Amino acid sequence: MKDFFYPESVAVVGVSPSPTNLARAIVYHLNEFRYTGKIYLVGPKGGSFMDYPIYPTISHIPEEVDLAAILTPASTLPEIMEMCGHKGIKRLVIESAGFSELGDEGKELEEQLVAIASKYGIRFIGPNCIGVINKENGLATPFMPFSNTFNLGPLSIISQSGGVGGALLNELASENLGFNKFASIGNKLDTDENDLLEYFLEDSGTETAFLYLEGIADGRRLMEIAFRSNKPILVHKSNTSEASTRIARSHTGSLSASEEVVNAAFRQCSIHRVTDMTSTLTAIKAHGLPPMRGNRLAVISRSGGHAVVAADAAAKYSFVLQPFPEEFLRMVEGRLRAGVIRLGNPMDLGDLFDFDLFHQIVRDTLGREDIDGMLVVLNYNGIFFQEDSRNLAGKIKEICLQGQKPVALCLVTTEEEWRLNRRNHPGFPMFTDPEEAAKALAISRDFYHRRNISSFEEAKTIAVDQRKPLAILAEAKTRQAQQLTTVESFEILSNYSIPLASWRQARSSQEAAAQATALGFPVAMKVVGEGFVHKSDAGGVLLDLNSEVEARDGYDRLAAIIQTTESQAKEKVTLVQKMVSQGYEVFVGAKQDPVFGPVILAGLGGVYVEVFGDVAFRVAPVSAAEARKMFAEIRGSQILKGVRGQPPGDLEALIDTVQRISQLVCDLPQIQELDLNPIKVLPKGQGCLVVDCRMVLS
């Protein structure tokens, strides 16, 4: 990937002398950003632009070329790529649109490009993108116009939309924060976000990565990269609604993923999800300050109202407002002008007009060992104390950078002063509102404490002989089953040592009575065939059968139902199961997500799921720690701990079961959906028992 960003020569393909020609903007940018390598222009009409000759084809370029940036009609691409191949150009940025985002025709064209690239060992970015920028060497291929008003900063950007990426660049310029590398990936036919992200995380110029994505190329690989990353990764994953899916498909050909799964996956691997420009900038600013290593905050404000607002924000983001030493407070109080303010944390310095003392307070406070960061509100209007306030802002920046602890500085002032301060302090994030400042510090803190994430490798592997499950699944495939029978599902669960409520099969009323007696009354009896999608709805579940007579009678009733629904069935098999009357009802499910692969979900059974949607998701495999976090996340899990005098449930057994299910769905992707519902969680030490199960095949 590095070769995309550090070529020694670039060919811009598609330039014409016409003033509306878009490829000319690429040439303009290479100059505007002061590209340090050689530039060649290519266009069939020849001529020249900005003193560069325009070669009619790539083959006409007299020297070697490392990278080609191409903006020509889609249909010309195969020929141009062939020429690049012949010329030995191994990196292309294809900015042309008109491919899969338009439908099937474009898809064929894309297949051709992939084939040609593979033939010549070419890697390319795009099509349908605005290309790359590298602030380090001035490489800049966008056809969208930018002035080079950017600093070199520690942020690198991957954007699936040129427009959204460009908007972020504008905002960064206006905040004077800068960036390091930028890549617009469009249809990501060859190079995708994961390829670039992996490179950015190795790249010494990049300290934080931001991605705007309309679709996720390979969720599992993204997670694996994130698990290994010690740099913050921020993602704006858009395309979350039906209407946006429609437009995203025609924009970059992206499909949408399930929101719950995206959120769970990102949390699991510590990717910070942002949702709009405001939250993007806050997160970028958060990581532009030294890290917030703890939770102890000091707030200092030159306005009482902002001290109140800052305290609200500190509470909202769960910071501890560490008290100031009494002696220190008395010292400061003694030096206030009118003595009309009482000091604490937040410290309201509305009555302080001694800027050296303000400086001293910030310096001494940040230096304290029991302070992890500060939020400072500096109010001033552009009339009184201008110079003093500007100088103070600069000194606070120095204190922050020298102390390597964050000071979120809110400048509450006029637009002109704000612009001036930003100009004075390139690369140093500043804020306008205490709410945003507190949020940024919280983002920094939460990233610093992400270490309790557990990667896929930490999920333990249980030794399982897979012959039986594979045989069952193969047999089901042969008979083109859409779901397994309950008996088959139970056999697979047993194979993974997942505890089941004791069960037997019965093929006659006599056998039903005998099995029930053997299990011990009361029993439940159920139909098992794959023809029953919802057994209860079909009347196929009988509970609390208390005698041989009831068991016999029950079998006959179920047999009649089987006769109706599965008239071809050779045998009328029912399941006799020991009733589990105690225990908390929990459900654990799993599904194969098209983007992230096997996903586990869990929650309390019954109304808690239906009414409160109280479910936790994880991408599998999950470790014990991750399974534990799932249940910590569910609000209803308090119930499992025992409320209103009920005994606590056996959470450890449940966590073990979740891990086994996790391995099951990772091992057997043929199972598209799996639903264990209910699982009865017995009192602590007594385990848990799966009562019913459904497995749908892919």
Residues between 127 and 186 that touch a second copy (CB under 8 A): 144-147, 149, 159-167, 170-171, 173-174
Least distance from a second copy to the Cβ atom of residue 499, Å: 26
DSSP letters for 371-434: --EEEEEEE--SSSSHHHHHHHHHHHHHHHHHHTS-EEEEEES-HHHHHHHHHHSTT---BSSH
CB 160 within 8 A of CB 188: yes
Q: Which one of residues 192, 214, 550, 656 is an interface residue with a second copy (CB under 8 A)?
A: 214
By CB under 8 A, is residue 389 in contact with a second copy?
A: no
Site size toward a second copy (CB under 8 A) is: 99
Residue 273: strand pairing partners: 235
By CB under 8 A, the residues from 408 to 427 that bind a second copy are 412-415, 418
**77 to each of 71, 112, 493, how far by Cα in Å?**
9, 9, 53
- Looking up tokens 């060919």 gives 11
The one-character DSSP state at 691 is -
By CB under 8 A, the residues from 217 to 256 that bind a second copy are 238-244, 246-248, 250-252
By CB under 8 A, is residue 275 in contact with a second copy?
A: yes
Q: How would you write 530-580 as a 3-class SS string? A: CCCCCCCCCCCEEEEECCHHHHHHHHHHHHHHHHHHCCCCCCCCEEEEECC
Least distance from a second copy to the Cβ atom of residue 73, Å: 8
Least distance from a second copy to the Cβ atom of residue 130, Å: 10
Least distance from a second copy to the Cβ atom of residue 348, Å: 6
Helix, coil or strand: residue 440? helix
Least distance from a second copy to the Cβ atom of residue 585, Å: 12
Q: Which one of residues 44, 47, 53, 73 is an interface residue with a second copy (CB under 8 A)?
A: 73
Residue 68: strand pairing partners: 11, 92
By CB under 8 A, is residue 495 in contact with a second copy?
A: no
Nearer to a second copy, 364 or 433 (CB): 433
Please list the alpha-helical segments (H only) found in 455-547.
Answer: 467-478, 486-495, 509-519
Nearer to a second copy, 295 or 414 (CB): 414
By CB under 8 A, the residues from 12 to 51 that bind a second copy are 20, 25
473: CB partners within 8 A, 6+ apart? 484, 668, 670, 671, 697
Stretch that binds a second copy, among 107-115, 117-125, 578-586, 634-642 (CB under 8 A): 634-642
Q: Which one of residues 5, 212, 266, 503 is an interface residue with a second copy (CB under 8 A)?
A: 212
By CB under 8 A, the residues from 522 to 551 that bind a second copy are none
Q: Which one of residues 307, 500, 651, 668 is an interface residue with a second copy (CB under 8 A)?
A: 307
By CB under 8 A, the residues from 605 to 624 that bind a second copy are 606-607, 610-612, 614
C-alpha span between 196 and 186 (Å, rounded): 13
CB 53 within 8 A of CB 41: yes
By CB under 8 A, the residues from 308 to 347 that bind a second copy are 308-309, 311-316, 321, 338, 340-342, 344-346
Site string for a second copy, 553-592 (x = CB under 8 A): ----------------------------------------
C-alpha span between 632 and 257 (Å, rounded): 25
Q: What is the CA radius of gyration of the chain?
A: 32
Least distance from a second copy to the Cβ atom of residue 161, Å: 2
68-77: string of b/e by CB count within 10 Å (b at 16+)? bbbbbebeeb
By CB under 8 A, is residue 95 in contact with a second copy?
A: no
Identify whether 346 is preceded by a cis peptide bond (ω within 30 of 0).
Answer: yes
By CB under 8 A, is residue 263 in contact with a second copy?
A: no
Residue 424 tokens, joined: 């004075």
C-alpha span between 229 and 560 (Å, rounded): 60
Nearer to a second copy, 284 or 513 (CB): 284
C-alpha span between 154 and 506 (Å, rounded): 68
Least distance from a second copy to the Cβ atom of residue 619, Å: 23
Least distance from a second copy to the Cβ atom of residue 617, Å: 19
Strands 52-55 and 38-42: parallel
Nearer to a second copy, 25 or 183 (CB): 25
Nearer to a second copy, 144 or 464 (CB): 144
Least distance from a second copy to the Cβ atom of residue 535, Å: 15
By CB under 8 A, is residue 379 in contact with a second copy?
A: yes
